[in-house]
Amino acid sequence: MKARIPGANQSRGDMLKKIQQMQEDMQNAQAEVEATEFSASAGGGAVEAIVTGAHEVKAINIKPEVVDPEDVEMLSDLIVAAVNEAMKRAEDAMNQKMQAAQGGLAGLNIPGLF
């Protein structure tokens, strides 16, 4: 014989509503971050990269004084460093938004939820 706890179904329903709200919050947070632009520079501002939260490179700005035909490798390194840092900033912002949207439920490890 199963014991019935008064209000148990209501608490499951409340939990389901909270999970659905959290998923909606996570989708909104993801869309917000993906639409945001992140920038980073390298070489003391000689090269700037601008990316979106969706990991799309929007622009690479290079100061003319760093364009040296004799040292293309340094310019390439600066571009890579700026792009990587901008992507890291986008990823960090996404992680922060997702953690905030998940609230305390992130540690529950519910399959298919996250």
Q: How confident is the model at residue 113 (pLDDT cuts 50, 70, 90)?
A: low
Residue 62 within any structural domain of the chain: yes
Q: With a cut of 60, say whether residue 5 has pLDDT above it.
A: no
Residue 41 within any structural domain of the chain: yes
How many domains does the chain fold into? Answer: 1
Residue 73 within any structural domain of the chain: yes
CATH number for 64: 3.30.1310.10
Contacts of 89 (CB under 8 A, 6+ apart): 38, 39, 40
Q: With a cut of 90, say whether residue 106 has pLDDT above it.
A: no
> Considering the entire predicted model, what is its pTM?
0.72
Distance CA 85, CA 49 (A): 8
Per residue in 55-92, pLDDT (tens digit) is: 999 999 999 998 999 999 999 999 999 999 999 999 99
Residue 19 within any structural domain of the chain: no
* Residue 26 contacts residue 95 (beta carbons within 8 Å): no
Q: Which structural domain range is residue 52 located in?
A: 37-102
Residue 18 within any structural domain of the chain: no
